A and B are shown apart, each in its own frame.
Chain A
Amino acid sequence: MMHKIKEPQPSRFSQWLIKRIFKDEGETKIGDFIEIYSTLAEEKKQLQARLRFWGYLIRSIPEYFRDSLCIGGTMFKNYLKIALRNIKRNKGYSFINIAGLSVGLTCCILILLYVRYELSYDKYHENADNIYRVVMKQPGNVYMGNEWFNVGPGGLKSTLMEEYPEVIYSTRARPEGGYIYYNNNIFEERSIFFVDPEFFKIFSFPLISGDPETAVKKPFSMLITQRIAKKYFGNEDPVGKIINVEKKYDFEVRGVLDNCPENSHFTFDILASFNSLYTLYGGKDRIETWDSGNSGWNTYIQLRENFNPLDLESKFPAMAKKYRGEDYKGEFHLQSLTSIHLHSNINFEIEANGDIRHIYIFSAIAFFIMLIACLNYMNLATARAASRFKEIGVRKVIGAGRRHLIRQFLGESMIFTTAALLISLILVSLLLPSFGSFINRNLENNIFSDFPILIYLVCIALFVGAISGSYPALYMSALKPVNVIKGSLSTGSVRKKSSAFRNSLVVVQFVISIVMIICTLTVFRQLNFIKNSKLGFTKDHIITGYLHDSNLRENLEPFKNDLSQYPRINDVYINGALPVTIGSNNRAKWEGLAEGEKGPLTYMGFVNYNFLDFFNIELIEGRNFSKEFSTDISQAIILNEKAVEVTGWENPIGKKFRVWDWGVVIGVIKNFHNTSLHLKVEPMALHLTRPNRSSGYFAVKISSDDIPGTLAFIENKFKEYCPGYPFNYSFLDERIDRMYRSEQRLGQIFNYFTLIAIFISCLGLFGLASFTAEQRTREIGIRKVLGASISGILMLISREFVKWVLAANVIAIPIAYIAMNRWLQNFAYRIPIGIWTFVISVAMALMIALISVSYQSIKAATANPVDSLRYE
């Protein structure tokens, strides 16, 4: 087959543009332009030719329209002049409009940047669309509220590669943490990933030095990111250096990677060759297998271009049966790489992911705030129309058509939005760093150098201008010149119609604001409820940490005694689980349970003798663990109330119970929350930490004075017992707070945006009130002369607004109720949405409305009637 040599062609966009601009029959004009481009391309390099061509095209366009522009230009000048004069003359209105629009645009832009960032996760890989993660669903094995797990057997990787031709590459990525020794320094690293050599075929992580083909092929080779290279080696060349992991294994640095982009669902600092794990985990055979105990491996695959992942997924049940036996219930599923960050929230995610619902919520907020700002503009512009009746009339008489007027008023709103856009760009660049840290994303790129974003923004601004200018333009251009010039008396019906429209705008604005007020209140009440609800154990003034060093584990008692000596340390708990780290579970069995029947999933915690005393967990039956009973260490079990409830035992003490190993129940404790309040309390069994199996948490109860001193003491002791290890600690209450971080962030964001929404609505109301007061100056004057009191007049003006705000409440309350009810479903323990929330928000909305109209109404009511009646 012959291949045609392609002639160079101008970009598709410019071709499209040419087609749109020039009336082109038979495509002869585009042909002309392509010819021009070809001539340029013969002489110049492509880029230069492209630029030249654009220059040519841009010069062509105004020439083509020169005739029509000549007339348009003059009128445009006039419109601009009038618009600027109007802005200047009505400083108050202009300020309100521009302020409202620019605050709205600022919110919009910030949220746009956030949403864009969230959507960009993992999209930078060349093959992003063909990469999938293999995850498992284990029906019946509900853990932390769901039965999906980010795990897979170690043998999965080679099985997929070898038996399924549609899988081009597959790799595992096993996250590990550990201590790294180099040159007498110890570094704690949390993000070391052990990966197969195919990792670099699938993902596009650029190497600065080293060969991606071979870098992670040999056991004990490593790639480090630039950040780590700087941290460990300063300016030295890291390639070829040997670093030690956990004082046991020497790894050779074989290359340097660019820092991992932050918009990735996992970020690494170090990549190590996967086959090093063969040594670490006791042999290749123990990893490369489908044994059921060997399931903690993340597997990623790259599928053939355009291959439907569902086709591969449909082959998985057969694979599971083949390797795990006929009875195996676990299922394998594929998640596309780009969906992981926003759509996957399963057990054992490598890092906490984002949430698509937040994207929706944020986008909705941005939309509604912008809507409020647009409505403001519409409202004020139509209200102001009366004062421009004469101008419109004159224009019409002279010969302006409806089109010209529409163009003029749309143009005016464009001027407003352009001004607002400029202001909001400044605001955004000021706010972006703090907004970024607030939502925990690094958004600090310069939006002014980001061309597509700027295009979006201009589009948004134009759109906002068009929307907010549309109604005033249509409304004002529809007026009849005779009526308009005759004066406002004969335009009563028009006025009435337009005021009904304005009022409905106010209602919409307040519906949005009130919904947001109710949501904010509910979110805060729920968060408060969580903060104050009794978890069943003490969480205040407790420092927790993890004992890494195995040497220390042999010196636990001396360490504990040393700590206890310090006067400000009230109690020490060591070598056992913390209430919030009890997380593993299994199906329980107990005596009396029918053979073959399966008990409920039961949490299992290995704790130390003083666990109940230290955390003030209430024992309601039986006894605590005790050193006096030598059998306690091997077989004593303490159950929680829930566990007793599911067994149905009247007298649980002495009964046999099993989570992993059989034991005898010696006591029953009150339920406490080991998980966040999103989840229900489940049955739980406590064992003593076995001597050979240590679970290395420690906790120190301190008194509230001189906390820094106490911390310093603990750190010193820690350093004494585990020299060289960094002292990482956290307060227990902070640790618990972290479980609700995403809700707290949501709450704060709601808070700020609600304030902004209210602010913009108030601006509008304020403007409207001042307009009404101005319109009714004479009426008020006459009323006063006839004996109306100031309070009566205040009532008169406020009543109108209050009426509409109340109407807004009627609409807003059901909407907010439905929305918040759904949100609260996320929590197993939640507040009822009380009537008070609604009462408070109604009161708040009314108060805000009254305050914003009060200034104008008081001014109008207290004015001397002589002045107001004399005003013409």
Chain B
Amino acid sequence: MGMLSRTDEMILLAVWRLGDNAYGVTIAEMLTQTSGKKWVLGAVYVPLERLEKKKYLSSCLGQSTRKRGGRSKRLYRLTKDGLDVLIKTKTQEKLIWANITISSLEKGYDA
């Protein structure tokens, strides 16, 4: 299990947060909310497909609504691997950031 890129990490988290309602539009919205940067649909498809290929995500066709012109949603869900890699990333991050605060960063040395 390799390292996650920042984009992948954000997307996996977004899918996790959305639970049963994770598909293109909601994922892009969630990412926009959590990252403070505007995410468009075009930007999420490629990483989503890549993560699915890596087996961190699985997808299935969901129901369709009138608002979508009768087209179904592609719903994403974290796999066991996906969950593991997130846990690993979080552990790693904790280690990397151990004892480092913003103020210590500003001071410029390891306090």
Chain A positions near chain B (C-beta within 8 angstroms): 7, 9, 22, 26-36, 38-39, 56, 59-64, 66-67
User: Within B18-53, which residues are at the interface with A (CB < 8 Å)?
Assistant: 23-25, 40-43, 45-46
CB distance from B68 to the nearest CB of A (A): 4
Size of the B side of the interface (Cβ < 8 Å), in residues, is 21
- Residues on B close to A: CB < 8 A? 23-25, 40-43, 45-46, 61, 64-74
| Given known A-B contacts A56-B40, A60-B40, A67-B46, A36 and B73 have beta carbons under 8 A apart | no
Q: Given A7-B69, A9-B69, A34-B69, are A28 and B43 neighbors across the interface (CB < 8 Å)?
A: no
Write 23 A-B pairs (CB below 8 A) sorted by A numbering: A7-B67, A9-B69, A26-B74, A28-B74, A29-B45, A30-B69, A30-B71, A31-B64, A31-B73, A32-B24, A32-B68, A35-B25, A36-B25, A39-B67, A56-B41, A59-B42, A60-B41, A60-B42, A62-B42, A63-B42, A64-B42, A66-B43, A67-B46
CA distance A746 to B19 in the complex (A): 74
- In the assembled complex, which residues on chain B have CB atoms less than 8 Å from the CB atom of A7? 66-67, 69
The interface residues of chain B lying within 8 Å CB-to-CB of A62 are 42
A22-B45, A35-B25, A64-B45 given; A28·B40 CB < 8 A: no
- Chain B residue with Cβ nearest A22: B45
Please indicate the chain A residues that have their CB under 8 angstroms from the CB of B66 in the complex: 7
Complex-state Cα separation, A9 to B46, whole angstroms: 25
Q: Is the beta-carbon distance between A36 and B69 smaller than 8 angstroms?
A: no
A27 contacts B72, C-beta separation under 8 Å: yes
Least distance between B2 CB and chain A CB atoms (Å):
17
A residues in contact with B74, CB < 8 Å = 26, 28-29
Query: Would you call A63 and B40 a contact (CB within 8 A)?
Result: yes
Complex CA gap A30/B23 in Å reads 12
Q: Once the chains bind, are B25 and A32 in contact (CB under 8 Å)?
A: yes
Min CB gap B60→A, angstroms: 10
The 6 closest A-B pairs by CB, nearest first: A31-B71, A60-B42, A32-B24, A63-B43, A28-B74, A64-B42
Most chain-A CB neighbours within 10 Å: which of B46, B69, B70? B69
Closest chain-A Cβ to B19's Cβ sits at a distance in Å of 18
What is the bound-complex CA distance between A27 and B64, given in angstroms?
A: 11
**Cα–Cα, bound, A7→B24 (Å):** 20
Q: In whole angstroms, how far apart are the Cα atoms of A56 and B25 in the complex?
A: 13
Q: How far is the CA of A22 from the CA of B72 in the complex (A)?
A: 16
Bound complex: CA of A22 vs CA of B41, how far in Å? Answer: 10
Interface residues of chain A: helix, strand, loop or mixed (majority):
helix
Contacts of A31 in B (CB 8 A): 64, 68-73
**Total of A-B residue pairs, C-beta within 8 Å:** 72
- A71–B15 Cα gap in the complex (Å)? 29
CA distance A733 to B42 in the complex (A): 71
Q: Which of A22, A28, A59, A60 contacts B61 (CB 8 A)?
A: A28
Q: A28-B71, A31-B72, A35-B68 are in contact. Are A61 and B24 (CB under 8 A)?
A: no
Residues on B with C-beta less than 8 A from A27 are 71-72
Beyond contacts A22-B45, A61-B42: 20 other A-B pairs, Cβ-Cβ < 8 A, are A7-B66, A7-B67, A7-B69, A26-B61, A26-B71, A27-B72, A28-B24, A29-B24, A29-B41, A29-B45, A29-B74, A31-B71, A31-B73, A33-B41, A35-B65, A36-B25, A59-B40, A60-B43, A63-B42, A67-B46
Minimum Cβ distance to chain B for residue A251 (Å): 57
Minimal beta-carbon separation of A39 from chain B (angstroms): 8
A43: min CB distance to chain B, Å: 13
**CB of B45, distance to nearest CB on chain A (Å):** 6
B31 to chain A, nearest CB (A): 12
CB distance from A543 to the nearest CB of B (A): 73
Distance of A782 from chain B, by nearest CB (Å): 62
Q: How far is the CB of B18 from chain A (nearest CB, A)?
A: 14
Nearest-neighbour CB distance to chain B for A833, whole angstroms, equals: 64
- List of B residues within 8 angstroms of A60 by Cβ: 40-43
Please judge, given known A-B contacts A26-B61, A26-B72, A26-B74, whether A32 and B46 are in contact too, CB under 8 Å: no
Instruction: Report the minimal beta-carbon distance from B66 to chain A, rounded to whole angstroms.
Output: 5
Check B41–A36 contact: CB distance below 8 A. yes
A35–B41 Cα distance when bound, in Å, is: 11
Do A34 and B41 contact each other (CB < 8 Å), given the known contacts A28-B24, A29-B24, A64-B46? no
Q: Are B67 and A35 in contact (CB under 8 A)?
A: yes
Q: Give the distance to chain B from A366, nearest Cβ to Cβ, in Å.
A: 40
A29 to B42, CA, bound (A): 9
Closest residue of chain A to B24, judged by CB?
A: A32
A587 CA to B21 CA, complexed, in Å: 89
Q: Which residues of B contact A38 (CB under 8 A)?
A: 67-68
**Nearest chain A CB to B95 CB, angstrom units:** 30
**Cα(A185)–Cα(B69), bound, Å:** 66
Q: Which B residues lie within 8 Å of A64 (CB)?
A: 42-43, 45-46
- A contact residues around B68 at 8 Å (CB): 31-32, 34-35, 38
Q: Chain A residues near B40 (CB, 8 Å)? A: 56, 59-60, 63
- CB-based nearest A residue for B27: A32
Which of chain B's residues has its CB closest to A30's CB? B71
- How far, in whole Å, are A22 and B66 apart by their CA atoms in the complex? 22
* Distance of B30 from chain A, by nearest CB (Å): 14
Contacts A7-B69, A35-B68 given; does A28 touch B23 at CB 8 Å = yes
B20 to chain A, nearest CB (A): 16
Find chain A residues with CB under 8 A from B45 CB. Answer: 22, 29, 64
